[in-house]
A and B are shown apart, each in its own frame.
Chain A
Amino acid sequence: MNSRILIAIALLALAGALAFAARPHEATADERTDEITTELRCPVCQGLSVKDSTSETARQMRDLVAQRVREGKTDAQIQAEFRAAYGDWIFLSPPVAMAPFYLKGVAPAWVNINDIFRGVLPYMMIVIVSMIMLYTFPQIGLWLPNLIYK
């Protein structure tokens, strides 16, 4: 019985500690700097974030972000400053599928990521229509192979 009470107390304490650690709190300046630099691409590295890179350029970018945070700039304002200089390329983490971002990497730099997504939409529609047709008429999936390999 005693051991059960002890286990229950330990579990409650653990849950309390987790809840305390996860409580909502306002991010400190350092936390905000880390969050913003995690999303920024280091311009002289291969796929590394500004936060993770040890290059001089990344250090200078971290210093600039930290200064802007101290000045009271919002995340959007700080991101806009880097976007103005480097374009959307400077943001590392893709919010959705990867392929448009690979394409952005090899496309001429004035091609906006939004242009790529607009261009992708008709193909997504084709895929959706194909999925619906295959779901409705599964036999069409083997129609062409049957014709060729009969």
Chain B
Amino acid sequence: MMLVRIVRIGVVVGILALVVTLALAFRRDPHDIRTGTVNKRAPAFTLQRLDGSGQVSLADLEGKVVVVNFFASWCLPCVQENPALVRVYERYRSSDVVMVGVDYQESRANGIGYVQRMGMAWTTVADDDGRVALSYGVFGPPETFFIGTDGIIAGRHIGPIDEETLVTAIEKLRGQASSR
């Protein structure tokens, strides 16, 4: 009888341990993915502006905090996150923070239409062959990468991003830059 009781207690303890382990594991933010390119030098790119007015090269933005946002007009979460991006752009437009929108898997005409419709005044470029998205390890839009003044990707956000997350990540990078 004693042994049966010990076995039952053991089973209950085991289940509790499993529940605690799972609870701790699932507490992590699934949007905060620290894989692949994070903490590594941001892959270089030179892409055509969506409106065709020349090229944008990441190398030219060195020394600035760069927010790279992959978007597409067919992506509903991109529409959802856009107001936050607009507010953050207005907040930092006269600072050392640069926002670059990378249009993902769509035609130029659709991309330009979307940019105009959504009031995206920041730099937008076309990743026609998807090579830049592949080099950043993008799963699908929207995805946002935060690149520090040292050219290292400090963070990545998968899915629609909000204003608070954007500002927190940007301010952290600006703080690191000013303390250097």
Known: A110-B34, A148-B7. A44 touches B139 (CB 8 A): yes
How many residues in A have their beta carbons less than 8 Å from beta carbons of B? 20
B14 at the interface (CB under 8 A from A): no
CB–CB B3/A147 < 8 A: yes
User: Which of chain B's residues have a CB closer than 8 A to the CB of A108?
Assistant: 28, 34
A132 at the interface (CB under 8 A from B): no
CB–CB A110/B4 < 8 A: no
User: Which of chain B's residues have a CB closer than 8 A to the CB of A31?
Assistant: none
Instruction: Please pick, from B38, B43, B129, B135, the residue contacting A63 in the complex, using a CB distance under 8 A.
Output: B129
> Which of A56, A63, A87: most chain B CB closer than 10 A?
A87
The complex places the Cα of A144 from the Cα of B35 at a distance, in Å, of: 46
CB nearest to B28 among chain A residues: A108
User: Which of chain B's residues have a CB closer than 8 A to the CB of A61?
Assistant: 134
The complex places the Cα of A145 from the Cα of B97 at a distance, in Å, of: 68
CB nearest to B38 among chain A residues: A110
CB–CB B35/A84 < 8 A: no
Instruction: Type the 1/0 row for B19-45, where 1 means its CB is closer than 8 Å to any CB of A.
Output: 000000000100001111110100100
The complex places the Cα of A89 from the Cα of B33 at a distance, in Å, of: 13
The complex places the Cα of A73 from the Cα of B130 at a distance, in Å, of: 20
CB–CB A86/B130 < 8 A: no
Within the complex, what minimum Cβ distance (angstroms) separates B113 from chain A?
19
CB–CB A85/B131 < 8 A: no
A64 at the interface (CB under 8 A from B): yes
Instruction: Please pick, from A44, A64, A110, the residue contacting B35 in the complex, using a CB distance under 8 A.
Output: A110
B140 at the interface (CB under 8 A from A): yes
How many residues in B have their beta carbons less than 8 Å from beta carbons of A? 24
A54 at the interface (CB under 8 A from B): no
CB–CB B140/A44 < 8 A: yes
CB–CB A85/B34 < 8 A: no
Instruction: Type the 1/0 row for A74-90, where 1 means its CB is closer than 8 Å to any CB of B.
Output: 00000000101111010
- Which of chain A's residues 92-142 have a Cβ closer than 8 Å to chain B? 108-110
CB–CB B129/A148 < 8 A: no
Within the complex, what minimum Cβ distance (angstroms) separates B30 from chain A?
9
User: Which of chain A's residues have a CB closer than 8 A to the CB of B43?
Assistant: 85
- Which of chain B's residues 9-25 have a Cβ closer than 8 Å to chain A? none
Within the complex, what minimum Cβ distance (angstroms) separates B23 from chain A?
14
Known: A84-B40, A85-B37. A57 touches B4 (CB 8 A): no
Known: A56-B105, A57-B105, A108-B28. A87 touches B35 (CB 8 A): yes
CB–CB B140/A87 < 8 A: no
Supply 13 A–B pairs (Cβ within 8 Å), ascending by A.
A43-B140, A60-B133, A64-B131, A85-B43, A85-B136, A86-B35, A86-B137, A87-B36, A108-B34, A109-B36, A110-B35, A144-B7, A147-B3
Residues of A within 8 A of B (CB): 43-44, 56-57, 60-61, 63-64, 82, 84-87, 89, 108-110, 144, 147-148
Residues of B within 8 A of A (CB): 3-4, 7, 28, 33-38, 40, 43, 105, 129-131, 133-140
